[in-house]
């Protein structure tokens, strides 16, 4: 007896994205923990999942990877583009630490935040609102860098009037030789940024889906709302907006290098990101599972070892 066998007639019967094969998703989660890094045929030859023993190791390694890419671009005297998330967040403290230790000036860095809370029209919170992603980035990364920081005019946030300028700005920089780095987490419903799985129903082909560069006022899945209530709003669901502005696969799948992170453990053996990690690594690329495309790109996915499971029933 489980969800799949009891779903008919329940409140969840039409809840999940219609393109999901729950049996296939469940199958991805049946593997033993030690199998999590086994290479799959569709992975890019330079994609590597990296287990971390604890949160401190995870934050440090992710921060080091970000800082190292910035340092190497500086040494090459090249511009570098970062598409950045608000979550995971602990990595920014370490990125700042390494950049300051190495005395790396970040004037060659161009930052593009991948998403921001919005209403249905794409109107966002005030930048200084405690819940705004722009505010979080200024406090965690740009501000602490001090005199080494990314110039203000090179910081881009996903506001209603700014997000539509991302593709043009990024394409121009890439033509000038800039490398594109996409830093990301993986959502409960396998989203990248706030590009949700149910958007797949709108497109006739994978090619059309892959061409989508951004969306204003994206309608969020209920599980995304609850994920953020838990991770960002201390369980207070009523504070979470139902919409967001977000980049799409037309940007995040153009990465020259990816830096991913999964740290979704909650303590006492509880977690929210175990299934998200396994499905991202084991499900063949499918537009109904946006994160399944990330292993097809070169780069690293850091994750807490605990998330590998085993994903089995456990009472608390």
> For residue 10, is it within any domain?
no
Predicted local confidence at residue 316, as pLDDT: 67
Residue 212 in any domain: the answer is yes
- Looking at residues 226-243, what average pLDDT do you find? 96
- Tell me if 272 is assigned to some domain: yes
182 within a domain of the structure (yes/no): yes
Strand 47-52 with 299-304, pairing: parallel
Percent of all residues in the chain with a pLDDT value above 70, rounded to a whole number: 100
pLDDT in tens, 13-40: 999 999 999 999 999 999 999 999 999 9
pLDDT recorded at residue 92: 98
Q: In terms of residue numbers, what domain contains 143?
A: 48-219+245-308
Residue range 284-289: mean pLDDT, rounded: 98
Quick one: pLDDT at residue 295? 98
Query: pLDDT > 90: what percent of the chain?
Result: 98
The DSSP line for 110-124 is EEEE-EEEE-TT--B
Gap between the Cα atoms of 70 and 56, Å rounded: 21
Asked if residue 313 belongs to a domain, the reply is no
Average pLDDT value over all residues in the chain: 97
Tell me: cis bond preceding 229? Omega within 30 of 0 counts. Answer: no
**314 pLDDT tier (thresholds 50, 70, 90):** confident
104-123 per-position pLDDT tens digit: 999 999 999 999 999 999 99
In a domain, 214, yes or no: yes
Whether residue 135 is predicted with pLDDT greater than 80 in this model: the reply is yes
CATH number, residue 53: 3.40.50.1360
Using the 8-state DSSP alphabet, how is residue 284 labeled?
A: P
- Token readout for 113 is 């935040």
Question: Is residue 169 within a helix (H) or strand (E), and if so which, with residue range?
Answer: helix 166-175
Q: What is the mean pLDDT of residues 147-161?
A: 98
Between the alpha carbon of residue 69 and those of residues 143, 148, 262, the distances in Å are: 19, 15, 20
CA distance 182 to 78: 17
* Number of residues that this document lists for the chain: 316
Q: Which tens digit of pLDDT belongs to each residue from 61-101?
A: 999 999 999 999 999 999 999 999 999 999 999 999 999 99
Residues 43-60: tens digit of each pLDDT = 999 999 999 999 999 999
Distance CA 42, CA 60 (A): 29
* Residue 313: per-residue pLDDT: 86
Taking residues 238-247, what's their average pLDDT?
98
In a domain, 238, yes or no: no
Count of structural domains, the chain: 1
Residue range 154-161: mean pLDDT, rounded = 98
Asked whether residue 185 is domain-assigned, the answer is: yes
């Amino acid at each position: 007896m489980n969800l799949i066998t009891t779903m008919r007639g329940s409140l969840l019967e039409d809840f999940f994205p219609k393109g999901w094969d729950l049996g296939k998703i469940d199958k991805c989660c049946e593997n033993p923990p030690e199998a999590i890094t086994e290479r799959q045929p569709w992975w890019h030859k330079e994609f590597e999942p990296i287990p971390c023993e604890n949160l401190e190791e995870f934050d440090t390694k992710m921060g080091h990877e970000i800082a190292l890419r910035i340092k190497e671009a500086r040494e090459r005297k090249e511009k570098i583009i970062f598409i950045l998330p608000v979550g995971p967040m602990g990595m920014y403290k370490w990125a700042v630490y390494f950049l300051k230790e190495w005395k790396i000036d970040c004037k060659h860095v161009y930052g593009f935040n991948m998403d921001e809370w919005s209403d249905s029209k794409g109107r966002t919170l005030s930048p200084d609102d405690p819940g705004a992603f722009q505010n979080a980035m200024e406090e965690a990364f740009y501000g602490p860098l001090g005199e080494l920081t990314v110039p203000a005019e090179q910081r881009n946030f996903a506001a209603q009037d700014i997000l539509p300028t991302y593709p043009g700005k990024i394409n121009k920089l890439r033509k000038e030789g800039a490398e594109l780095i996409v830093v990301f987490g993986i959502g409960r419903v396998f989203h990248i940024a706030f590009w949700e799985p149910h958007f797949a129903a709108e497109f006739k082909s994978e090619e059309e889906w892959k061409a989508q560069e951004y969306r204003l006022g994206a309608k969020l899945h209920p599980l995304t709302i609850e994920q953020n209530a838990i991770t960002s709003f201390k369980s207070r669901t009523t504070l979470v907006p139902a919409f967001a502005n977000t980049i799409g696969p037309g940007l995040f799948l153009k990465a020259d290098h990816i830096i991913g992170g999964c740290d979704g453990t909650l303590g006492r053996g509880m977690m929210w990101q175990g299934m998200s990690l396994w499905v991202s690594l084991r499900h063949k690329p499918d537009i109904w599972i946006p994160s399944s495309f990330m292993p097809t790109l070169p780069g690293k996915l850091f994750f807490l070892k605990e998330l590998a499971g085993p994903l089995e029933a456990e009472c608390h």
